[in-house]
Amino acid sequence: MEKGFYGEYGGQFVAETLMPALNELEYCFEKIEKNKQFNGKLSHYLCSYAGRPTPVYYAENISSKYKLSLYLKREDLLHTGAHKINNTIGQALMALEMGKKRIIAETGAGQHGVATATACALFNLECEIYMGKTDALRQKVNVEKMKMLGAKVNIVDKGSMTLKDAVSSCLKDWVANVDNTHYLLGSALGPHPFPRIVGHFQSVIGREARDFFEEKKALPSAVVACVGGGSNAIGIFKGFLDTNTELIGVEAGGLSNATGAHAMRFGAGKRGIFQGTHSYVIQKENGQISPVHSISAGLDYPGVGPEHSYLFDTGRVDYDYCRDGDAVFAFYELTHLEGIIPALESSHALGYVLKNCEKFREKTVLVNLSGRGDKDLDIIREYNGGSLV
């Protein structure tokens, strides 16, 4: 990375009003990144409050059925049920360093919103969450959790009423309230230094996973993670980028390859500038953002983090997709065979492995189980025509 870019991707394509805030954020991050006092405080909260380290679990029953060795990085066991808490605690502590008492955040599946509201409750910070109306309707439980935690939830009823519109609303709020507000962005995207900051706080996933396999004296053949904005994937990939382990990012294949039926940035996107950063974006011929779809509220985003775009171009990470149906199949397989109910986002990563099990025959595969699935039961029920079983 150099001057806010990963190769040609990244940058700060934002209103001039935000440049002082981004510069302040970059200065703060460079000050705390290797600061022992800050990192000691962060480690304290991640361990005693969030529940780190999370285990790496050998999924014996699935491994036996599919003739491979499947391991799961259990981020679903963290407080609030997903990897998002790693980043929200880190950025909330940064906000306190900068003297910012008001936090805003976007959310799609609701997990980042819940994790942000949780961190704000912990550190006595004012909190407002922006969430698209479509996502709020299919993630009603998470909306209630955010409100219980003291956050004001702003429902965005413009555009596609999903994650991209929540991000846009956050950026507008930040422009208007930049002096006293920190935008706690939830994924490894947006203008520099957000991709660097989020990637840093999520890299704990990869470090722990690497330590586990080094103790076994055998690294996995492949590491697989779902990719929406890209935070859980970049977090676990960072532990293995310097190895020969195959890294696979799984996008939302949706229903088909038709326009508006998927969210495959690398499969159907083009280079472009979107919400403050240069990356791969699903767009129309005239540059307008195309509609996207995924059964998962956390994966239906038309852009992707700039570091992922760089890793795609360099070939270090392979990016593929998983259809809605295959993700739901994996959701039930893990539930029935291991007694673990996964988030639909994580189910895409597992669904890819199960769909392509011949490729992984007799190999060791690590899947990042980025979240738990209780938030998705209403979506699964609707998908099945009214039943969960």
Fold of 13-46+83-194: Rossmann fold (3.40.50)
Q: Which residues contact 281 (CB under 8 A, 6 or more apart)?
A: 265, 269, 270, 271, 272, 273, 274, 289, 302, 303, 304
CA Rg value for the chain: 19
What residue type is assigned to position 335 of the chain?
Answer: T
Q: Which helix (H) or strand (E) holds 255?
A: none
Q: Which residues contact 334 (CB under 8 A, 6 or more apart)?
A: 59, 62, 340, 341, 342, 347, 350
Residue the block writes with tokens 């920190």: 182
201-205, 313-317, 385-389, range with the lowest pLDDT: 385-389
Q: Assess whether pLDDT exceeds 80 at residue 277.
A: yes
What residue type is assigned to position 63 of the chain?
Answer: S
Residue the block writes with tokens 């904005």: 229
The 10s digit of each residue's pLDDT in 315-344 is 999 999 999 999 999 999 999 999 999 999
Catalytic residue among 69, 73, 100, 106: 106
Query: Please, what is the average pLDDT of the chain?
Result: 96
The 10s digit of each residue's pLDDT in 336-368 is 999 999 999 999 999 999 999 999 999 999 999
Averaged pLDDT, 270-287: 95
Residue 191 contacts residue 13 (beta carbons within 8 Å)? yes
CA–CA separation, 54 vs 208, rounded Å?
8
Q: Assess whether pLDDT exceeds 80 at residue 2.
A: no
Determine whether 370 is an active site residue.
yes
Crossing angle between the packed helical segments 19-32 and 194-215, to the nearest 10 degrees: 30
The 10s digit of each residue's pLDDT in 233-255 is 999 999 999 999 999 999 999 99
Q: Which residues contact 182 (CB under 8 A, 6 or more apart)?
A: 25, 91, 94, 95, 98, 100, 102, 103, 104
Determine whether 144 is an active site residue.
no
Q: CB neighbours (10 Å) of residue 382? A: 12
Determine whether 84 is an active site residue.
yes
Give domain 51-81+202-383's CATH number out of 1.10.730.10, 3.90.25.10, 3.30.565.10, 3.40.50.1100. Answer: 3.40.50.1100
The 10s digit of each residue's pLDDT in 79-120 is 999 999 999 999 999 999 999 999 999 998 899 999 999 999
In our burial notation (b when 16+ CB lie closer than 10 A, e otherwise), range 114-124 reads: bbbbbbbebbe
- Percent of the chain beyond pLDDT 70? 99
Catalytic residue among 73, 84, 355, 375: 84
The 10s digit of each residue's pLDDT in 32-76 is 999 999 999 999 999 999 999 999 999 999 999 999 999 999 999
The 10s digit of each residue's pLDDT in 130-180 is 999 999 998 899 999 999 999 999 999 998 898 899 999 999 999 999 999
Q: Residue 1 — pLDDT band, cuts 50, 70, 90?
A: low
pTM, entire model = 0.96
Residue the block writes with tokens 């990012």: 249
Catalytic residue among 169, 251, 370, 375: 370
Q: Quick one: pLDDT at residue 160?
A: 87
Q: Quick one: pLDDT at residue 207?
A: 98
Is 51-81+202-383 the same fold as 13-46+83-194? Answer: yes
Three-state DSSP class for residue 28 = helix
Q: Quick one: pLDDT at residue 138?
A: 87
Domain boundaries, the chain: 13-46+83-194, 51-81+202-383
In total, the chain counts a number of residues equal to 389
